[in-house]
Amino acid sequence: MGTSVEGIIAPRPAAATPSAVEPNLAAAAPALPLRAGHIVERIVDGDLVLYDQNRQQVHVLNAPAAFVWQLCEGGHDAGEMAAALAEHFPRSREPIESDVREILSDFSARGLLTT
Amino acid sequence: MSVERRRGEMVEWRPLPGPERPDTVDVNLLSFSARVTSNSPRILRGLLSLYPTATPASGGMPSVSALRLGIVKAGAEGRCDAYRLYRSGRQIDACSTALRAIAGLEYLIDTAAIVSLGRYVLVHAGAVAAGTGGIVLPAASGAGKSTLVAALCLSGFRYLSDELAVLDGETDTVHPFAKAICLKSGGWRVMNAAFDLPAVPFALTRCNGRSARFLEAPAVSAPRHPVRVRYVLLPTRQAGRPATLAPTSRAGALAELARHSLNLPRHRHVGLEILARLVEGAACYTLTYDDVRAATAAVTALVGS
3-state secondary structure at position A75: coil
Contact A21, A7 (CB under 8 A): yes
Work out how many CB contacts closer than 8 A connect A with B.
75
CATH number assigned to the domain covering B121-179+217-304: 3.90.228.20
Contact B47, B14 (CB under 8 A): no
How many angstroms separate the CA of residue B257 from the nearest CA in chain A?
Answer: 10
pLDDT digits (tens, 9 = 90+) for B250-266: 999 999 999 999 999 99
Q: Which residues of A touch B255 (CB under 8 A)?
A: 5, 8, 49, 58-60
Which residue of B123, B164, B232, B261 is the best one to mutate when testing the A interface, meaning the one whose CB has the most A CBs within 10 A?
B261
Instruction: Give the integer Cα–Cα distance in Å for B264 and B275.
Output: 10
Does this model's pTM top 0.95? My answer is no
Please give, one letter per residue, the 3-state secondary structure of A33-70. CEECCCEEEEEECCEEEEEECCCCEEEEECHHHHHHHH
Q: Cβ of B262 and A3 within 8 Å?
A: yes
* Least confident span in B43-47, B132-136, B206-210: B206-210
B266 close contact with A: CB closer than 8 A = yes
Q: Which residues of A touch B276 (CB under 8 A)?
A: 42, 44, 49
Which parts of chain A have pLDDT scores under 50?
A: 1-22
> Domain coordinates of chain B in residue numbers?
7-116, 121-179+217-304
Q: Which residues of A touch B266 (CB under 8 A)?
A: 2
Chain A residue nearest residue B251, CA to CA = A44
Fold of A1-23+30-115: Outer Surface Protein A; domain 3 (3.90.930)
Partners of B166 in the β-ladder: B122, B175
Residue A20 has a pLDDT of 41
Instruction: Give the integer Cα–Cα distance in Å for B118 and B106.
Output: 18
Q: From B180, B134, B128, select the one nearest B155 (Cα to Cα).
A: B128
Q: What is the ipTM of this complex?
A: 0.76
Q: Which residues of B touch A10 (CB under 8 A)?
A: 252
What number of other Cβ atoms are within 10 A of residue B91's Cβ?
A: 12
